[in-house]
Copies of this chain bind each other. A is one copy, B any other.
Amino acid sequence: MASTKETIVLLGDELIRKKGYNAFSYADISKQLNVKNAAIHYHFPTKPDLADAVVDFHTDSFNRFTEKASSRNEADQIKMFLNFYASIQLSGKLCVIGSFAGDWNSMDNEIQEKVTEFTEHVLSWITETLEKGKEKELLSFNAPARIEAMKILTNMCAGTQLARITGSNDFTEIKNSILHEIIN
């Protein structure tokens, strides 16, 4: 059973990634909880406080994901990562990274640093997974692993954005093409 505070983080996350940080207000959350908007300020005094908690939530989620994926081989792990983005796309959200990047100049330094740390964390995981997969000859790619990781991440990140514009099918094609090119 999620606490009110946890529910607010989940709703805030959904709003940030569906509407954008600047487009949502505390009223959007308070209406869903049948309280006044000021009640949200009790749990998260300022909007940046909530954004902060949302980034923490994603850090925890990603750690749970990598933990869960760690029992599989590297090709499967990359596949799981891309499928995770497919579920983001289907739910009409963007990934945190792309969402915060768009509103980057509205974010204070503390959140920027937290998002940077999260992004480097994700990039490191992809990079290491690609490297191990290449060693085991499960994966193939020409660029240095970190650059390949950035290309995959930007494909996924902007893939969910492009899908809003040109349709869900385009995301699927990008995803399948990546898998086809790197999995032996």
**A residues bordering B, Cβ < 8 Å?**
18-20, 22-23, 94, 97-106, 112, 115-116, 119-120, 123, 142-143, 147-148, 150-151, 153-155, 157-159, 161-162, 164-166, 170, 173-174, 177-178, 180-181
Complex Cα gap A150–B174 (Å): 7
Number of this chain's copies in the assembly equals 2
A166 touching B123 in the complex, CB below 8 Å, given contacts A153-B158, A161-B158:
yes
Contacts of A100 in B (CB 8 A): 165
A153 touching B162 in the complex, CB below 8 Å, given contacts A23-B22, A103-B20, A106-B23:
yes
Choose among B22, B147, B148, B173 the residue that contacts A22 (Cβ–Cβ < 8 A): B22
A162 touching B157 in the complex, CB below 8 Å, given contacts A20-B103, A23-B22, A181-B143:
yes
Of A101, A103, A153, A165, the most chain B CB neighbours within 10 A belong to A165
Complex Cα gap A101–B23 (Å): 13
Contacts of A166 in B (CB 8 A): 116, 119-120, 123
A105 touching B19 in the complex, CB below 8 Å, given contacts A116-B165, A147-B174, A165-B97:
yes
